Amino acid sequence: MSAVVLKGAATPDALAARSGGGFPAVDALLEGVASAPETFVLDPGAAGIDWSVENRVRGLPNRARIKCWSPKEGTLLVWFYKRSALPWSVDRFSYGGVLVGRERVPPAAIDAWLRYQVGGFHPEQRPPGIRRSFPFDLPA
């Protein structure tokens, strides 16, 4: 993996460990983040690896976030969501996510996920293969 790519992150290994470790999709996502022109920011207090992007969409700050989190051994959820615009609210607005195992994910898919985030989850940029519902609770 490349050097630390998320603003506010520790070492790359510590970063990968936050998602449970050993997921090639996480490595590929972080490499995609590193090579993107935008700045991505880690939330160190959130479960898994959870990051936002510092850009604006249609004149407003981009609220799109990605969380990489493992609901069970050998499974990774790449979850697309927004947090509430109100600082005291704990509401989250899901746009679905992708469940992957320890297999490699095609670079085009990784790029599509990141572009979807940078575009503020615009419906026309919605990547294929996103699941809308999950049979488990997602931690904050």
CA distance 65 to 45: 14
| Residue number, 49 or 98, with CB nearest to another protein | 98
Q: How many CA atoms lie within 13 A of 140 on its CB side?
A: 7
| Residue number, 91 or 103, with CB nearest to another protein | 91
> Which position among 3, 37, 90, 106 is part of the footprint of another protein (CB under 8 A)?
90
| Residue number, 9 or 109, with CB nearest to another protein | 109
- Neighbour count for residue 110 (Cβ, 10 Å): 21
From the list 2-10, 20-28, 46-54, 86-94, the region that binds another protein by CB under 8 A is 86-94
φ/ψ of residue 113, rounded to 5: -65, -45
Which residues contact residue 103 at a Cβ distance below 8 angstroms, ignoring those fewer than 6 apart?
24
**Which residues of this chain interact with another protein, rule CB under 8 A?**
58, 60, 81-82, 84-96, 121, 123, 130, 132-138
